[in-house]
Amino acid sequence: MGIIQTRRLALGALAAVAIGSGSGHAQWAGGESDWSTGAAVRRLDHELRGGRSRAAQRRRRRRERGPRTRSASAEARTLSASEADRTLSTASSLAGPSCSGEVTGIRVETFGSSLARDDIGTLEAEGCFPEGTRFEWSVPATSAIVGAGPRVNVHTGSVGANLVVRLCAVGATTDCRTESIPLEPPRPRVEVDTVAVVHPYSNGAVYRIEGNVAHAPPGTTLRLFKHSDVHYLDGASAVIDEAGRFAFEAFALTSVDRFVVELLAARGLGSMPRCSSSWCRGAIEELSGHHVPVVPDGDDAFAFGTAYIDHPGDHPDPHVDALIDLMSDEAIGVTGALVRSSWESDLCFLYGQAVAAIALGEAGDRARAEQILDALMSLQLPDGSWYFAYWEDGSSPFPGEGDFRYSGAVAWAALAFARHRRQFGTSRYDATLSAVFDYLRGMTETDPGKEGLRFNPSDLAHTSWDETRVVAFEHNADALAAFRMAPDLDTSGQAALLEQVLLSRWSGTYFRPGFHLDNGENWVEIYLDPQTWGLLALGADSARTHGAALTDACGRFTDSAGVHVRESGILGLYDFDVVWDTHPHGRFAWVEGTTGMALALDRFSALTGTASHCGSESSASLRLEMERLTVPGVPGAVAEATVSPDSPYRSIPTLAATAWSYLAASGVNPFQ
């Protein structure tokens, strides 16, 4: 895939304020919540594996910051009234009495360097500018500006020097500013791109591991580790050519699941954290989510690249074969087995089990799909629900870590059972499906004007908001699909109620993420999934008349300045935005969201008889972009997202990203 280093931010419910509330991550509930099921998966996976991610740290800082009102920007500091007015004027491009067009500064976001070039990142004009202001940027000939307007990218061939930038805001008057921006030295990089078997043996194989290294500091060396229970140092030496291309050859037993090539200080391994002279216990690198021998700190370790060992299965489709690779050997009940949620975790998230069962069923692997469903049937709680995640043996970190039973994840499990029942005409899971339907009905608020499936059955201690008082769009879309897929078991007309819940979130151009039963609608935050999943889950007539949601999302969740294209060479969509904020909250390509958009474009095209595009991209081109995120070693395994400091997602390959890639490539809408 390239440099493996990133992952997704679960944004969310801030303190209760008068202006309203939300669903995916609500602006009125009190700290950052994991409103979307996928966001919670990523947070809990990282924290239960023994580390707090950068996204978790950002959530904690937001909780500590407390509530925001609509007159505040997304800055971490409190704004004065005049500053807030200026921020809103800038965000909405409205001329005001204080909008003189003066350039007060140039904001810099540094993204570091890639193997191909040295990049400084993004520049943004600061100030208050009247409508119609034109921005003219200039840099030395050794650098290049990409984009136009108040926010652009800059590529520079110089490092360790200063970049001189001149900006003129041209409107009723012309105001210019020149700044000298110091460039930091390029970051060391390691990229593993090839893992191939050289000589197979009965108990393992000799592998050739190839890749690139760039910007290695003096006094460092490349070392190869093999991971099974810990990271074992291999004695092989790297051959490195003048272009920075390296190659190792090493034997690995069948118990080894991945290689890690790490750029380390040229001294004894035993002097480094959590290491002996020949192995390291390792730790999670916060930005990417990877478990590595030594976390890069600029002293002991500087960069790493990871490649996974493929254990080829019996399915011709590489995505399906990769999903099979994640199946656990631990038996649940007599015939059940769970699926690990990533190649670096033993956790089995409920949402992932559902998506995997749907994908395997669609791929014709009924037996393995039923292994997953049999495991869930055995693990169903007496009230019809499930916990948010399990270990491979069926035990769960919950409720010990809290009563995590997010309704969206439970609804996805119901959807998997209902879809399997319809696809294969089996009554095997009718009792399980009836029980979870009863549970979801019981979780549904029915007061007029406040109808909807509530977020969680109990208030969770780790957030400052009450999950029992929140209704999330995503959760209701999941449940709508499940009930509609088993109409004979929908004895109370639940599907009709849930569809109305979704339609009531329509703003005129996009679907709002949800509401708080006490504080009202969330008009503050916008999420990608309600736009795409809404179009995928709604009935045909409703979906046909709400295509504006896709148009809005394509304009909002793709990066017009091209940051993630520059950083990774891959185009996709990210997940979250704030209505009035001028700074995008993400610039990364997110696989689940982008493949969901591809499927939503296909459905809208089929319903309307017109070709639908996401900007200049078609559904086919979006699929192809996400296929470029397959990881070295396992051909069908797909990473969650591209590398970016903005991304709360990680760059490790996951079950959900792989399953959604298969569904998108096959044209399967899991909601219908």
- How many angstroms separate the CA atoms of 171 and 324, rounded? 59
pLDDT higher than 80, residue 93: no
For 362, 440, 656, 660, 662, the CA distances from 636, given in Å and listed in that order, are 16, 35, 12, 12, 9
The pair of three-digit structure tokens given for residue 20, joined into one six-digit string: 């309203």
143-190 per-position pLDDT tens digit:
888 778 888 878 776 666 788 999 999 987 889 999 988 877 778 889
For range 360-377, the mean pLDDT: 98
pLDDT higher than 60, residue 324: yes
For range 313-331, the mean pLDDT: 93
Which of 108-117, 151-160, 346-355, 568-577 shows the highest mean pLDDT? 346-355
- How many angstroms separate the CA atoms of 8 and 429, rounded? 34
- Torsion over CA: 412, 668, 499, 534 (sign): positive
Pick 106 or 503 by higher pLDDT.
Answer: 503
- How many angstroms separate the CA atoms of 337 and 314, rounded? 18
- How many angstroms separate the CA atoms of 530 and 526, rounded? 8
Q: CA angle, 371 as apex, 398 and 255 as ends, to 5°?
A: 80
Domains along the chain with CATH numbers:
101-182 (2.60.40), 191-308 (2.60.40)
| Cβ-Cβ contacts under 8 Å for 2 (sequence gap 6 or more) | 191, 193, 568, 569, 643
Supply the pLDDT for residue 113. Answer: 52
pLDDT higher than 50, residue 562: yes
579, 656, 46: which is closest to 412 by C-alpha?
656
pLDDT above 70 covers a percentage of the chain that reads: 80
For range 253-278, the mean pLDDT: 96
- How many angstroms separate the CA atoms of 416 and 372, rounded? 10
Q: Integer distance in angstroms from the first to the last C-alpha of the chain? A: 32
For range 85-101, the mean pLDDT: 42
Identify whether the C-beta of residue 613 lies closer than 8 Å to the C-beta of residue 604: no
Tell me the residue ranges of DSSP E strands in 475-604: 514-516, 520-521, 525-527, 576-578
For 24, 187, 242, 470, 547, the CA distances from 537, given in Å and listed in that order, are 16, 44, 54, 20, 13
390-423 per-position pLDDT tens digit:
999 999 999 999 999 999 999 999 999 999 999 9
Supply the pLDDT for residue 85. Answer: 30
- Torsion over CA: 377, 383, 389, 394 (sign): negative
Which of 95-109, 286-300, 477-491 shows the highest mean pLDDT? 477-491
- Torsion over CA: 283, 286, 288, 289 (sign): positive
- How many angstroms separate the CA atoms of 474 and 481, rounded? 11
Question: Minimum mean pLDDT among 155-164, 311-320, 593-602: which range?
Answer: 155-164
- Identify the residue whose tokens are 């990133």: 6
137-148 per-position pLDDT tens digit:
998 888 888 778
Identify whether the C-beta of residue 453 lies closer than 8 Å to the C-beta of residue 501: yes
Mean pLDDT of the chain: 83
